[in-house]
């Protein structure tokens, strides 16, 4: 086993989001929508029906004026690894429309296989999965900006953040064409990472010591969301504020933050 | 028939095996997915050759570099341009949503002429020849009648070739009434002009600041160039510097700051003077600078020491005296401290007294013209057109007073006072305005007391809009001569305000014009030529592009290659050479400054008894509030605690809400002396008790169904307050009343 591991080190793409830097500006959300042909409707204020692969939550420490504090938390798909790739959504899909890619660690969603049973939405503890209740409609002429790299989803299927997997494919094709087999860190970046005006998002291979995320994930202020469910997500957050780290999981009053946090790698 | 255990089990087992063997469920599942997925109207985006074009975004004044990804002739994605001096690869939410404006439903697709009532939305498409001829004929008639001065133009800016063409047109035509919509940068320009002399713009070297003291500036809400400020903030958050935010509401900037200092709103200038008092009293100022490079220090010091003791300032601002003292010491002892002002995005010019008090703090610590400080930025003087010949009509027209009184004895330092223009038109002061040209601005939406603005516009007999979009001002026009959008046209953008690197950015055609639009620069040239005489001969260029190429001369090549051109090796002038005042020094006070009504307070409209609450606006990155409306992606990204259905939510402290009997999400009637609107309540502990905080950027009535009719425009509820010292709008809120709906 150990030998195998040394011979074939799989990639494990992940993200570290610095909440001290995040300004909640929403550029990541719009960059994601523009990159991934995400549709929109006239009224998007019912957030249970609004398809946004990446959503920003506004956390509040709940204290009265002027002790109040707020923090923004961008939430893409957490790309759970679970145990050996058994992420919550992958395990329940009856259509094999979603799977865990052992090569990259990315949880995929294959729209043409999905028949809309929405088990995965029920299984996902992060609400990252979204159902298309309507066919997408663009105002006349606006479909011109749609990207050919990402298929447009139809009514009746579930969609979610793919870590811009099409960018991985494009980068890999380019590398292969140039006779390379390995991608440099900057060759594959998600749209939200690239857009972030605050440089709050860092993306890379969590298994690769040369990538920035490798060090960042070990920051003592790093945490993951609902870690104790055993979902083993690949999105890490950094905050220097204790109340923000506590907001990442359902802690009991007497529990210390991050008590069960370690154990990844 | 009796069902016993045996037959029940047999039936279940048989049923299970039978279901598994029959193809029916699998067939049905397959059919369901085919039926639910293969809708022919789901678009399949065509493939093609992928290319990238560099350009400059002009959707806001920040002028970030952008790289547009194209598939054949379609633009499919806007990204930040790596290596650009403003944004180096980052991009804001508006910039990244820009293609929704280019291809969006609010585009004006062809020249339009109003049929039916103003604002009723009935239009007749006309040809470009007719559009140009109608404007030229009308302007020609007015000029012949000797009424040239009754024509006004409102532009988004007065910098760059396009606004300068408008300005030139008005000059040779014979009207003094050229306008822009002033912002905090105008107040800064006035401040620097008065204290440092010359005509510089303020640049802020935020990249090197290690202590930022912000008087309500939304450095994370869009003050300055957003991407640049975000980058600087991230650097501060990485341990490079400290941020102190002075503000009544817990904004994003306040939440991210090292310290949030809630003050009584409106007391910022006093607080700045209180800090100066401590720095003076404890002699913490930069002695070398004060001694050798300043004038009027002793006199100014006397006033500050006498009037702004920490105890007195504590009473006004609500900040304890001990905290004022500690903050002053910390600021003065920082290596590269910087104090800035301009509330929120700085779209309101604000009080001159406050800006001068804040700027004096920078002078006290000697952080002018130095790394991390305020720099006097000279304008790149590349627009060097031959002086135009003026005929008698032009000379006579220019001798008339401006309708707003800017530059007159009452307001000697103001360049443009659009709020006073509105007042003049509505009250019939001066001469009646006969024609108005609007380009790159949306005054019917973005000026305070928007209803009064709309009334004024309705009173002007001939209104021409050059907008690419069906905005609130275009709706109220007689003619719309639609410009290409920023992705379809050439345009130069001089150094964005606040930047410390002198650059020219170039916006250029990324895609061919999508509709029957025409570059406003070309249209201005064509109108001038159609008017003829000296007006026509002042525009010798065949096209705007020819004009731009000739104007940019040697920079044209690099601009086309890189998307921007930078003045090589720029360094701020040192203290001995930086100041263009009579003394050649920084002047804390002088004859011009003492002649201004700097100590008169800014009084918000409204009686405290009838309107017991304070309504204050807040800006955010997810809502544009300039001349452009939100593209759909941005509105989609707005929280449901800001907009729910078509209702805007105003922030209210739970304590205030309970005293009014209001709970989360409840509808209420919000009244001010200017207007009333239906809102919903969002309980937020971060807003000061007694304050109602309202997001700006909502309440559009024009554009398209994705933004129109959502929420309330803050400017419909607020009125301008003329700063006694400058005449510019210094309102930061308005008194208000909230009652259960």
Judged by a CB distance cut-off of 8 A, whether residue A45 touches chain B is yes
Give the chain B residue nearest A156 (alpha carbons): B36
Cα–Cα distance between B371 and B586 in angstroms, integer? 18
- Nearest neighbour of B97 by CB, restricted to A34, A66, A136: A34
User: What ipTM describes this predicted complex?
Assistant: 0.94
Mapped onto helix, strand or coil, the DSSP state of residue B683 is strand
**pLDDT at position A7 over 60:** no
Please tell me the predicted confidence (pLDDT) of residue A4: 47
Record: contact B33-A33, CB cut-off 8 A: no
Give the chain A residue nearest B258 (alpha carbons): A20
How close is the nearest chain A Cα to the Cα of B680, in Å?
14
Cα–Cα distance between B115 and B645 in angstroms, integer? 33
- For chain A, how long is the longest CA-to-CA vector? 60
Kindly indicate the confidence band of residue B530, based on its pLDDT and cuts at 50, 70 and 90: very high
How close is the nearest chain B Cα to the Cα of A47, in Å?
7
**pLDDT at position B30 over 90:** no
- Nearest neighbour of B37 by CB, restricted to A20, A154, A197: A154
Scan residues 11-40 of A and list those with Cβ closer than 8 Å to B: 18, 20-21, 23-27, 29-31, 33-35, 37, 40
- Nearest neighbour of B47 by CB, restricted to A34, A145, A148: A148
Kindly indicate the confidence band of residue B36, based on its pLDDT and cuts at 50, 70 and 90: low
How close is the nearest chain A Cα to the Cα of B723, in Å?
30
| pLDDT tens-digit series, residues B310-320 | 999 999 999 99
Q: Give contacts of A148 with chain B, Cβ < 8 Å.
A: 45-48, 71, 76
Chain centroid offset of residue B569 CA: 30
| pLDDT tens-digit series, residues A16-61 | 999 999 999 999 999 999 999 999 999 999 999 999 999 999 999 9
How close is the nearest chain B Cα to the Cα of A1, in Å?
38
Query: Which residues are CB-neighbours of B479 under 8 A, at least 6 positions away?
Result: B111, B112, B113, B114, B131, B134, B135, B463, B464, B465
Q: Give contacts of B692 with chain A, Cβ < 8 Å.
A: none
| Angle (CA) B186 B189 B193, round 5° | 140
**pLDDT at position B228 over 80:** yes
Record: contact A156-B80, CB cut-off 8 A: no
| pLDDT tens-digit series, residues B68-105 | 999 999 999 999 999 999 999 999 999 999 999 999 99
Mapped onto helix, strand or coil, the DSSP state of residue B493 is strand
Across the range B260-287, mean pLDDT stands at 97
Cα–Cα distance between B449 and B152 in angstroms, integer? 20
Cα–Cα distance between B204 and B265 in angstroms, integer? 25
Conformation bin of residue B167: beta by default, left when phi > 0, alpha when psi is -120 to 50: alpha
Record: contact B37-A43, CB cut-off 8 A: no
Kindly indicate the confidence band of residue A257, based on its pLDDT and cuts at 50, 70 and 90: confident
Query: Which residues are CB-neighbours of B459 under 8 A, at least 6 positions away?
Result: B425, B426, B432, B433
Q: Give contacts of B49 with chain A, Cβ < 8 Å.
A: none
Across the range B577-581, mean pLDDT stands at 96
Cα–Cα distance between B538 and B560 in angstroms, integer? 27
* One-letter-per-residue 3-state SS of B432-463: CCCEEEEECCCHHHHCCCHHHHHHHHHHCCEE
Per the CB < 8 A criterion, the answer to whether B508 and B358 are in contact is no
Interface probe with B: pick from A19, A20, A26, most Cβ of B within 10 Å: A26
> Parallel, antiparallel, or unpaired: how do β-strands B479-480 and B112-114 relate?
antiparallel
Record: contact A156-B78, CB cut-off 8 A: no
| pLDDT tens-digit series, residues B439-475 | 999 999 999 999 999 999 999 999 999 999 999 999 9
How close is the nearest chain A Cα to the Cα of B690, in Å?
12
- Nearest neighbour of B639 by CB, restricted to A58, A113, A197: A58
DSSP chain A: -HHHHHH-----EEEEEETTT-----HHHHHHHHHTT----S----TTT---SSEEEEEE--PPTTS--EEEEEE------TTTT--HHHHH-TT--S-B-TTT-PBP--TTT-----HHHHH-TT---EE--S-----TTGGGG--TTSPPP-TT-EE---SSHHHHHHHHHHHHHTT--S--GGGS--HHHHH-TT--EEEEETT-TTSHHHHHTT-TTEE-TTGGGT---SEEEE-S-HHHHHTTS---TTSPTTTTT----
Judged by a CB distance cut-off of 8 A, whether residue A169 touches chain B is no
Q: Give contacts of A93 with chain B, Cβ < 8 Å.
A: none
Q: Give contacts of B639 with chain A, Cβ < 8 Å.
A: 58
Record: contact B75-A145, CB cut-off 8 A: yes
Scan residues 208-247 of A and list those with Cβ closer than 8 Å to B: none
Mapped onto helix, strand or coil, the DSSP state of residue B561 is helix
Kindly indicate the confidence band of residue B28, based on its pLDDT and cuts at 50, 70 and 90: confident
Interface probe with B: pick from A23, A112, A113, A130, most Cβ of B within 10 Å: A23
Write phi, then psi, for B436 (nearest 5 degrees): -135, 130
Record: contact A37-B45, CB cut-off 8 A: yes
Q: Give contacts of A171 with chain B, Cβ < 8 Å.
A: none
Please tell me the predicted confidence (pLDDT) of residue B38: 61
**pLDDT at position A262 over 80:** no
Cα–Cα distance between B736 and B179 in angstroms, integer? 31
| pLDDT tens-digit series, residues B397-455 | 999 999 999 999 999 999 999 999 999 999 999 999 999 999 999 999 999 999 999 99
Q: Give contacts of B33 with chain A, Cβ < 8 Å.
A: 95, 112-116, 156
| pLDDT tens-digit series, residues A115-167 | 899 999 999 999 999 999 998 999 999 999 999 999 999 888 999 999 999 99
Binning chain B into helix, strand and coil, the percentages to the nearest 5 are: 35, 20, 45
Higher pLDDT, B18 or B202: B202
Cα–Cα distance between A211 and A187 in angstroms, integer? 12
> Parallel, antiparallel, or unpaired: how do β-strands B503-507 and B491-494 relate?
antiparallel
Cα–Cα distance between A10 and B732 in angstroms, integer? 57
Query: Which residues are CB-neighbours of B223 under 8 A, at least 6 positions away?
Result: B184, B217, B229, B340, B342, B344, B345, B346
DSSP symbol at B197: B
> Parallel, antiparallel, or unpaired: how do β-strands B178-180 and B151-155 relate?
parallel
CA atoms within a 13 Å half-sphere pointing along the CA-CB vector of B91 = 34
Kindly indicate the confidence band of residue A8, based on its pLDDT and cuts at 50, 70 and 90: low
Q: Give me the residues paired with residue B252 across strands.
A: none
Q: Give contacts of A68 with chain B, Cβ < 8 Å.
A: 250, 684-686
Record: contact A152-B514, CB cut-off 8 A: no
Looking at chain B, the whole-number percentage of residues with pLDDT higher than 70 is 99
Q: Give contacts of A194 with chain B, Cβ < 8 Å.
A: 79-80, 89
**pLDDT at position B701 over 80:** yes
Cα–Cα distance between B406 and B418 in angstroms, integer? 9
Record: contact A196-B262, CB cut-off 8 A: no
CA of B383: how far to CAs of B162, B492, B543, B551, B563, in Å?
11, 11, 16, 6, 18
Record: contact B105-A146, CB cut-off 8 A: no
DSSP symbol at B401: P
Judged by a CB distance cut-off of 8 A, whether residue A65 touches chain B is yes
Across the range B46-57, mean pLDDT stands at 96
* Residue closest to A264 by CA, chosen among A218, A225, A211, A204: A218
Give the chain A residue nearest B640 (alpha carbons): A45
Helix H or strand E segment including B506: strand B503-507
| Angle (CA) B95 B546 B531, round 5° | 100
Tell me, yes or no, if the pTM score tops 0.90: yes
Scan residues 91-110 of A and list those with Cβ closer than 8 Å to B: 95
Judged by a CB distance cut-off of 8 A, whether residue A47 touches chain B is yes
CA of A111: how far to CAs of A80, A87, A98, A154, A160, in Å?
19, 18, 9, 8, 10
Across the range B2-26, mean pLDDT stands at 85
Per the CB < 8 A criterion, the answer to whether A111 and A151 are in contact is yes
* Residue closest to B161 by CA, chosen among B437, B570, B519: B519
- Nearest neighbour of A152 by CB, restricted to B42, B90, B641: B42
- Nearest neighbour of A135 by CB, restricted to B32, B42, B78: B42
Give the chain A residue nearest B247 (alpha carbons): A66
Mapped onto helix, strand or coil, the DSSP state of residue B603 is coil
């Amino acid at each position: 086993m150990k030998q195998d591991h040394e011979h074939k080190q799989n990639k494990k793409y992940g993200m570290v989001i610095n909440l001290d830097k995040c300004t909640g500006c929403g550029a990541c959300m719009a960059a994601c929508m523009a990159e991934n042909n995400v549709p929109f409707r006239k009224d998007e204020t019912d957030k249970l029906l609004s398809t946004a692969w990446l959503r920003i939550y506004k956390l509040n420490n709940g204290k009265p004026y002027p002790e109040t504090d707020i923090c923004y938390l961008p939430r893409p798909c957490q790309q759970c690894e679970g145990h050996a790739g058994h992420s919550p959504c992958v395990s329940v899909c009856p259509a094999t429309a979603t799977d865990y890619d052992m090569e990259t660690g990315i949880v995929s969603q294959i729209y043409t296989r999905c028949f809309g049973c929405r088990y995965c939405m029920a299984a996902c503890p992060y609400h990252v999965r979204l159902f298309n209740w309507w066919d997408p409609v663009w105002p006349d002429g606006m479909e011109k900006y749609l990207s050919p790299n990402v298929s447009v989803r139809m009514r009746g299927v579930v969609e979610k953040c793919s870590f811009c997997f099409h960018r991985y494919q494009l980068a890999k094709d380019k590398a292969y064409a140039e006779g390379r087999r390995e991608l440099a860190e900057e060759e594959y970046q998600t749209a939200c990472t690239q857009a972030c005006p605050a440089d709050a998002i860092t993306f890379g291979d969590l298994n690769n010591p040369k990538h920035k995320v490798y060090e960042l994930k070990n920051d003592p202020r790093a945490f993951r969301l609902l870690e104790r469910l055993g979902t083993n997500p690949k999105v890490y957050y950094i905050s220097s504020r204790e109340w923000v780290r506590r907001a990442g999981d359902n802690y009991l009053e007497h529990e210390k933050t991050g008590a069960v946090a370690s154990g990844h790698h | 028939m009796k069902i016993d255990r045996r037959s029940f089990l047999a039936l279940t087992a048989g049923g299970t095996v039978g279901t598994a063997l029959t193809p029916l469920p699998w067939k049905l599942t397959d059919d369901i997915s085919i039926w639910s997925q293969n809708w022919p109207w789901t678009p399949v985006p065509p493939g093609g050759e992928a290319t990238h074009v560099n350009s400059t975004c002009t959707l806001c004044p920040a002028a970030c570099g952008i790289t547009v990804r194209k598939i054949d002739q379609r633009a499919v994605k806007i990204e930040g341009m790596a290596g650009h001096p403003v944004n180096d690869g980052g991009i804001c939410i508006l910039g990244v949503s820009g293609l929704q404006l280019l291809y969006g439903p609010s585009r004006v697709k062809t020249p339009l002429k109003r049929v039916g009532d103003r604002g009723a939305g009935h239009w007749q498409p006309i040809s470009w020849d007719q559009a140009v001829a109608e404007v030229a004929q009308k302007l020609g008639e007015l000029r012949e009648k000797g009424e040239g001065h009754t024509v006004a133009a409102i532009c988004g800016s007065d910098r760059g070739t396009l606004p300068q063409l408008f300005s030139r047109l008005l000059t040779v035509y014979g009207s003094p009434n050229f306008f822009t919509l002033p912002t905090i940068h105008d107040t800064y320009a006035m401040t620097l002009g008065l204290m440092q002399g010359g005509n510089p713009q303020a640049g802020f070297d935020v990249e090197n600041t290690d202590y930022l003291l912000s008087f309500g500036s939304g450095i994370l809400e869009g003050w300055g160039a957003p991407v640049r400020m975000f980058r600087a903030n991230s650097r501060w958050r990485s341990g490079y510097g400290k941020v102190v935010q002075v503000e009544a509401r817990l904004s994003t900037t306040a939440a991210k700051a090292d310290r949030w200092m809630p003050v009584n709103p409106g007391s910022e200038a006093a607080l700045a003077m209180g800090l100066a008092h401590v720095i003076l009293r404890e002699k913490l100022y930069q002695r070398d600078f004060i001694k050798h490079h300043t004038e009027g220090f002793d006199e100014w010091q006397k006033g500050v020491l006498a009037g702004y003791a920490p105890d007195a300032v504590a009473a006004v601002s609500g900040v304890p005296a001990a905290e004022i003292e500690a903050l002053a010491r910390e600021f003065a002892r920082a290596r590269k401290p910087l104090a800035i002002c301009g509330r929120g995005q700085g779209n309101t010019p604000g009080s001159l007294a406050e800006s001068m008090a804040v700027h004096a703090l920078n002078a006290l610590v000697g952080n002018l013209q130095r790394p991390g400080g305020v720099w006097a930025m000279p304008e790149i003087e590349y627009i060097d057109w031959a002086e135009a010949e003026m005929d008698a009509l032009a000379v006579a027209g220019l001798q008339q007073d401006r309708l707003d009184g800017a530059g007159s004895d009452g307001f000697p330092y103001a360049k443009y006072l659009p709020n006073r223009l509105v007042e003049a038109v509505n009250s019939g002061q001066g001469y009646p305005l006969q024609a108005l040209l609007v380009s790159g601005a949306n005054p019917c939406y973005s000026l305070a007391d928007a209803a009064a603005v709309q009334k004024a516009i309705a009173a002007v007999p001939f209104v021409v809009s050059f907008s690419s979009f069906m905005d609130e001002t275009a709706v109220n026009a007689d003619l719309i001569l639609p410009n290409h959008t920023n992705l379809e046209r050439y345009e130069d953008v001089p150094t964005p305000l606040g930047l410390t690197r002198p650059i020219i950015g170039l916006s250029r055609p990324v895609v061919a014009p999508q509709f029957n639009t025409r570059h406003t620069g070309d249209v201005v040239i064509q109108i001038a030529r159609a008017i003829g005489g000296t007006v026509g001969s002042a525009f010798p260029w065949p096209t705007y592009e020819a004009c731009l190429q000739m104007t940019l001369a040697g920079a044209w090549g690099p601009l086309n290659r890189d998307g921007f051109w930078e003045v090589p090796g720029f360094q701020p002038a040192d203290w001995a050479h930086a100041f263009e005042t009579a003394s050649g020094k920084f002047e804390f006070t002088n004859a011009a400054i003492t002649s201004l009504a700097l100590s008169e307070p800014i009084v918000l409209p409204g009686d405290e008894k009838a309107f017991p609450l304070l309504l204050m606006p807040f800006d955010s990155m997810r809502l544009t509030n300039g001349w452009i409306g939100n593209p759909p992606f941005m509105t989609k990204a707005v929280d449901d605690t800001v907009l729910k259905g078509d209702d805007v939510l105003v922030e209210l402290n739970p304590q205030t809400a309970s005293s009014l009997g209001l709970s989360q999400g409840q509808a209420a009637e919000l009244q001010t002396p200017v207007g009333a609107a239906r809102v919903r309540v969002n309980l937020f502990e971060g807003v000061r008790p007694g304050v109602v905080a309202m997001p700006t950027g909502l309440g559009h009535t024009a554009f398209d169904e994705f933004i129109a009719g959502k929420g309330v425009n803050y400017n419909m509820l607020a009125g301008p307050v003329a700063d006694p010292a400058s005449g510019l709008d210094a309102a930061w809120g308005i008194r208000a009343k909230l009652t259960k709906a």
